[in-house]
Each structure stands twice: as structure tokens, then as C-alpha cells.
Amino acid sequence: MRGQNYSLWSLLKHGFKNHQTWEPAWERVALKPSYDVVIVGGGGHGLATAYYLAKNHPQVGKIAVLEKGYLGGGNTARNTTIVRSNYLWDESAAIYEHSLKLWEGLTEDLNFNVMLSQRGVFNLGHTLQDMRDIERRVNANALQGVDAHVLNAQEVKEKIPQLDCSRSRRFPVLGASWQPRAGVAHHDAVARGFARAASRLGVDLIEGCEVTGMDIQNGQIRGLQTNLGAIKTERVGCVAAGHSSVLAKMAGLRMPLESHPLQAFVSESMQRVIDTVIMSNAVHGYLSQSDKGELVIGAGIDSYLGYGQRGSPHVIEHTAAAIIELFPQFSRVRMNRQWGGIVDVTPDACPIISKTAVQGLFFNCGWGTGGFKATPGSGHVFADMLAQGGPGPLSKAFSVDRFHTGHLIDEHGAAGVAH
């Protein structure tokens, strides 16, 4: 009680002072002329990389994160925050499960509430083949140590009473996979938590700093050009999501990536009606309900390529139709806001965590429509890669070389709705 009074008092006091005496969450610093390691991209993945690098590998020296906009303002700010690890193949289940375990301890580790809510995720099955695919994935998950269950239609109805499970629907619900430890987390909180923790470990976080060129000599990265001036560095990690191929081009590299818009929207706020996350690949839509009471809704990528963070109206119409197919009662709910992000999609729907033909230049990209859940895990393994100069056990399968060797890890089924 005393704490609450104190908070209210300090809120009023600081409010009247225009927040001027508030301690900033991270330090604003000027760009230095050289760094030991530079991370390009201040989204969740870039910030997590910086944090784990500074925390676990302090010997690497001075680290900077360069962000062309504001920290966490890219896809990290634009996603629908689903966190789960129920992927099909061992390599991807391992990295997403590693990430989920980090999520589970993240609030404590960062001393910042990332608002992980393990409310479970359902992937609905509507055909016999859907159910066979679900059973295959759940069996694989059992072998991988990932919590997952197959539910029949009655069990789904008991857990989600609002879902229309009648057999007369065009897409009747035959069952679902259910991962109870999955759920949602807060997009801004995780970016800010990592930013604050990285800054406290001495990482320079530079906002409004766009990388515009790379200085490469004799196959080794020597520096970067930015809108704030040139800097020298011999180790660079690019973590730029939808703009990764733009950065690769600066180094004369071609990444197997396509950049697509991916949209989402939220409804007006209402009483809590949905206490879990529901996804349907076949009907092609997904939803959850935010803590503010908004329905958070999404579906698939816009099929054309582009960098406009918007998306086209027919995708909104299709998504709304899918949600109404599953929940006819939501047809009268008004939609409040819509937005888009630019996702970097690989041919096998799996990320690229890799060194490149340029010495000292590394890429962590291709998370496409599913990288929010990977934020801590991706940052953790990429930090190891930047420190050690090569892959570790969890990242080695995600080398860009797999597109030459043919060792693809096809996760289109688990990426599901969005791809």
C-alpha cells in the first residue's frame, strides 16, 4: 500500500516536471568512430543479441546497436506477439524451445516485466489430413521434449466455448494441437527490457542511425557508412528483418529472401471473452485478446513483394471473413486499427543465422512471420556466433549454405497461418 502511494505521488511529481527528472531507461550516446562489434538493427533480435553479447562475452569489447528508426519500432512493434515452440523438425523445435525457456526466465533476468502470458496456443484441424498433420507434429514434439497435445473436437469446445465447433460449419473443427506453455508476451516490453539491460552493460544504442554502405577490403569487413558518419569495425551482425536483403546487397551478397507485407489489426476493447490463442491454417486466420480487451487478429502475408509497411485491403477482408467463420458472433465487433510490417521470408520458412563470404560479416534474418517468439533465443545464439566467429549447436543448421547443400528444414506447416 505504501508502495502504491509512493508511486502515485512520484507520478504526480514527475508529471508536473515534464518527466525531466526521470531516469531514462537507456543512455543516449553519440556514435563513436570505431567499435569492436556493431549490430545493425535495433529490433528485439538486435537488442537481445547486444545484451547476451555484453553479458556472456564481455571480452569482445565495445558494442554498438545502430537503428535507423527508433528501438523496437520495426516488426517487433508490429507483431501479434504469439510465443510457442511447437515446430515440426528437430532443428527448429530446438531453437524455438530454447527461446521459450529463455522467455520463461526473462522478466527475472532483465528485471523488467516482459508480460509473458502462457495462456496456451491452439492450432485447429478441420480435415482428416489436418488432423494427421497435427498428430505428426505433436508426436515429433513429444520426442523433442516440447509440451504438445492432440485434442478432439469436444475437448477443444470445452477449452474454447466461444468457438463454433458444430459439424454443419463449412470448416468443422475436428480437433486441435494444444501447447499449454505457449502464449503471448508484450512486444514493447521485451524490446525495452533488452535495451535497458544492454545499455547498463555498456552497449551504445544509437537511434536514427541508418547504415548506408559497407567498407569491405580483401574480403574482410572494415567499417560501415551511416547517415551519422563512417565508423570502423571488423565484426558486424546484421539483424534487420525485412531489410536484410538491402543490407546484404551493400556487401555484394544475395540472400534467399523475399520481403512481404504482413498485416494485423485490433478490434475495439471488450470484456474478456478469449483467454487463449487460436490459429487455423485451413480457414486462415488467428486471434487472441489483448490485456486491454482488443481482439488481436491476423492471417497471411500479402502475396506481392514490397517495403511499404501497410498492406492491401483485400487481405483485411479475407482475414475478417476467416475470423467470422470461426467465431460468427464477432461479426458485429468493430475494428479499431490496422497496420503492416515487412517480413523476410526464406524458401523453407526457417531463419538464416550465418556467417557470410565476407570475413567478420554475419546475418541473422529470415525469421519471416514467426520471429517474435524467437527473440531471446535468436539473440542468445547469435551473440555466441558473433563472439566465437562461427555457429554453435543450435544455430549450425541455419547456415545460409543449406540453400546450396539442399539441407532445407521445411517449416511451412508450423509457420502455418502466416506463410
Interface residues with ligand PYC (CB under 6 A) are 80, 82, 84, 286, 298, 369-370, 417-418
Q: Which residue has the cell 505433436?
A: 138
Q: Interface residues for ligand FAD in 286-325 (CB under 6 A)?
A: 298
Residue whose CB is less far from ligand FAD, 228 or 273: 228
Residue number with the smallest Cβ distance to ligand FAD: 43
- In the bound complex, what is the minimum distance in angstroms from residue 18's beta carbon to ligand PYC? 38
DSSP state of 317: H
Q: Counting contacts by CB under 6 A, is residue 41 touching ligand FAD?
A: yes
Q: Counting contacts by CB under 6 A, is residue 49 touching ligand FAD?
A: no
Q: Counting contacts by CB under 6 A, is residue 371 touching ligand FAD?
A: yes
- In the bound complex, what is the minimum distance in angstroms from residue 239's beta carbon to ligand PYC? 18
CA 373 – CA 113 distance, rounded (Å)? 16
Among 369, 383, 386, 395, binds ligand FAD (CB under 6 A): 369
3-state per-residue secondary structure call for 112-180: CCCCCECCCEEEEECCHHHHHHHHHHHHHHHHHCCCCEEEEHHHHHHHCCCCCCCCCCCCCCCEEEEEC
CB contact at 8 A, 62 and 388: no
- In the chain, the amino acid numbered 319 is T
Q: Counting contacts by CB under 6 A, is residue 260 touching ligand FAD?
A: no
CA 110 – CA 84 distance, rounded (Å)? 20
- In the bound complex, what is the minimum distance in angstroms from residue 338's beta carbon to ligand PYC? 15
Return the exposure string of 192-210: e unless at least 16 CB atoms fall within 10 Å of the residue's CB, then b.
bbbbbbbbbeebbbbbebe
337: CB partners within 8 A, 6+ apart: 265, 266
- Cα 400 to Cα 117, 244, 347, 366, 370, distances in angstroms: 33, 13, 11, 10, 18
- Judged by CB under 6 A, which stretch of 134-142, 324-332, 369-377, 389-397 contacts ligand FAD? 369-377
List the end-to-end C-alpha distance of the chain, in Å, as a whole number: 48
Smallest CA-to-CA distance from 89 within 146, 128, 131, 127 is with 146
Residue whose CB is less far from ligand PYC, 286 or 382: 286
Residue number with the smallest Cβ distance to ligand PYC: 370
Residue whose CB is less far from ligand PYC, 80 or 319: 80
Return the one option of ligand PYC, ligand FAD, none that residue 239 interacts with (CB less than 5 to 8 A, by type). ligand FAD
Residue whose CB is less far from ligand FAD, 135 or 188: 188
- In the bound complex, what is the minimum distance in angstroms from residue 302's beta carbon to ligand PYC? 13
- What dihedral do alpha carbons 396, 399, 405, 409 form, nearest 10°? 80
C-alpha 170, offset from chain centre: 32
Among 123, 263, 281, 399, binds ligand FAD (CB under 6 A): 263
Residue whose CB is less far from ligand FAD, 82 or 153: 82
Return the one option of ligand PYC, ligand FAD, none that residue 380 interacts with (CB less than 5 to 8 A, by type). none
CB contact at 8 A, 230 and 32: no
Residue whose CB is less far from ligand PYC, 50 or 283: 283
CB contact at 8 A, 124 and 279: yes
Q: Counting contacts by CB under 6 A, is residue 416 touching ligand FAD?
A: no
Q: Counting contacts by CB under 6 A, is residue 281 touching ligand FAD?
A: no
Residues that bind ligand FAD (CB under 6 A): 40-46, 66-69, 73-76, 78-82, 210-211, 239-241, 243, 247, 262-264, 298, 341, 343, 367, 369-373
